Amino acid sequence: MTLDFDFDLFVIGGGSGGVRAARIAASEGGAKVGLAEESRMGGTCVIRGCVPKKLMVFASEYPDMIADAKAYGWDVQSGPLDWRGFRSKLEAELDRLETAYRNTLKSAGVTVYDARAVVVDPHCVRLADGREFSTKHILIATGGQPFVPQFEGRELAITSNDIFHLDALPKRALVVGGGYIASEFACILNGLGVKVSQYYRGAQILRGFDDEARGHVANQMAANGIAIHCGTDVERLEQREGGICAVATDGSTAEFDLVLYATGRVPNVAGLGLEALGVGLGRRGEVLVDDWSQTAVPSIYAVGDVTDRINLTPVAIREGHAFADTVFRGIATKADHDLVASAVFTQPELGSIGLSEEAAREAGPCEIYAASFRPMRSLFAGRQDKVLMKLVVCATTRRVLGCHIVGPNAGEMIQLAAIAVKMGATKEDFDRTVAVHPTMSEELVTMRKPVRIF
Ligand code: NDP
């Protein structure tokens, strides 16, 4: 490609989106690519998000598994978790993944700079050490960071960035927020033996998901021992002798050893120099892009959480890939943001794709199929846990508009159901698929009568 510039592409940010774009542009697009990362390679997902979180989810599930094993007749005893031992294994795993990311970029021929970079002009970036590089294209892939609102005692709270580095597990924890991160960590900490309270300002946690599904998750979380306080926010935090005292908006006070704030994330744009160049930023600071991930400055693109479209790793990867295909491989590709499935790794898990019952009712006539039952495995072990399988169907086209699953491995199940939903499967397509027996997910193809019609 052109050698009028030092680089064809300079990527700022070595997370999921940036790394994918850099690799494809270099290895398949023949571009000369530079990438700057100020922290650790791999970004939020690998270093302080999905990966360590999921390993903590696994760790937190063992006490229940051991209890179930006993119920099945195994002579096993549960002991305390060696948190420090787990943490060092976790750190070693993250080191391994970071190295793998670096090696991938190296073998693709990408030049990596372990430094912060800012944009100087539409074709120039500057590293923290003062070095400047000219580049034909710039990709902003700087991700986001936890947002903590302003309140008295704010400095006493930690965020998800800090949770993986704790020296010891707390005895009592308060989790503030009702979204993915708050709900997942409330469950993780509870599973690890911490006494957990969760304060959420709204009426029900996991806003945006299907009401029945999130109610199901919340009920089960409460049954598992998490004290969920909806309609409750922190007014202030005070350091007391016995711990951190949270004074809540409902007038209550309670003491905790740890307060985790998971009240959303904001795009990492501060100091990048974008606004001065005419790159549009939205109300939350997100970089405004078109369907091609291109900003108002034609040579500058942005992908991933910094654009605040759908803030999920696989979406950032698709956006990065589509950008590289379009700009460096001559294959015009828009990232597809329609019908993106996701899973919340609470206990129980919630897997979801498409419209909620509430959204479908707004959209037009629909039928709701739902089954809630106690699955064989945990029922045998004496648990009362229920799973939920739910399909939202358009009454006119018969298409399955939404699928919501609450239960063990819902994340795995929704991935497969998502293929059918994305293909436009109708309820009748689901029905003519023979059940796999005995499984939980067979309910998805055996629900004959709607429970509600709108
Ligand atoms: P979310 O947007 O999911 O949730 C933020 C929560 O904080 C909401 O409950 C919100 O309340 C509450 N909140 C926001 N501002 C305040 C405030 N000033 N005071 C009190 N409460 C407040 O953000 P998360 O941080 O949980 O996660 C960020 C994103 O990361 C997610 O949206 C998701 O895209 C991604 N993610 C995905 C995961 C997965 O796929 N499993 C896991 C973790 C993260 P309200 O509802 O009232 O607005």
Confidence of residue 3 (pLDDT cuts 50, 70, 90): low
Residues 6+ apart with CB under 8 A from 105: 14, 19, 22, 23, 35, 41, 112
Q: What pLDDT sits at residue 219?
A: 98
Q: Residue with structure tokens 């490609």?
A: 1
**Is it the case that residue 64 has pLDDT exceeding 80?**
yes
* Cα distance between residue 346 and residue 57, in whole Å: 8
**Is it the case that residue 91 has pLDDT exceeding 70?**
yes
Q: Residue with structure tokens 């542009």?
A: 25
Tell me: the pLDDT tens digits for 196-217?
Answer: 999 999 999 999 999 999 999 9
Q: What pLDDT sits at residue 78?
A: 86
* Cα distance between residue 38 and residue 40, in whole Å: 7
CB atoms near residue 114 (< 10 Å): 15
* Cα distance between residue 239 and residue 246, in whole Å: 9
Residues 6+ apart with CB under 8 A from 381: 67, 68, 71, 72
Beta strands in 99-204 (DSSP E): 111-113, 117-121, 124-127, 132-140, 144-146, 172-176, 195-200
Q: What pLDDT sits at residue 2?
A: 52
**Is it the case that residue 355 has pLDDT exceeding 90?**
yes
Same fold: 7-146+266-328 with 348-453:
no
CA of 177 relative to ligand 1 center, distance in Å: 7
* Cα distance between residue 107 and residue 222, in whole Å: 49
321 is catalytic: no
Q: Given 3.40.50.1220, 3.40.50.720, 3.55.40.20, 3.30.390.30, which CATH number is that of 348-453? A: 3.30.390.30
Beta strands in 185-341 (DSSP E): 195-200, 227-230, 234-240, 243-248, 253-256, 258-261, 265-267, 300-302
Report which residue type is found at 199: Y
**Is it the case that residue 1 has pLDDT exceeding 60?**
no
Q: Given 3.50.50.60, 3.40.50.40, 3.90.1150.10, 1.10.1740.10, which CATH number is that of 154-263? A: 3.50.50.60
Q: Domain extents for the chain?
A: 7-146+266-328, 154-263, 348-453
Q: Given 3.50.50.60, 3.40.50.300, 1.10.3720.10, 3.20.20.60, which CATH number is that of 7-146+266-328? A: 3.50.50.60
- Provide long-range contacts, Cβ within 8 A and 24+ apart, for 445-448: 447/369, 447/370, 447/371, 447/389, 447/391
Q: Mapping DSSP to helix (H, G, I), strand (E, B) and coil, where does residue 324 land? A: helix
The binding-site residues of ligand 1, defined as CB within 6 angstroms of any ligand atom, are: 149, 177-182, 184, 200-202, 207, 233, 262-265, 311-312, 342-345
Q: Which atom of ligand 1 is nearest to the CA of 206?
A: 9
* Cα distance between residue 285 and residue 345, in whole Å: 28
Decide: pTM greater than 0.95.
yes
On average, the pLDDT of the chain sits at: 97
Comparing CA positions, the residue from 80, 301, 277, 36 lying closest to residue 193 is 80
CA of 122 relative to ligand 1 center, distance in Å: 33
CA of 319 relative to ligand 1 center, distance in Å: 21
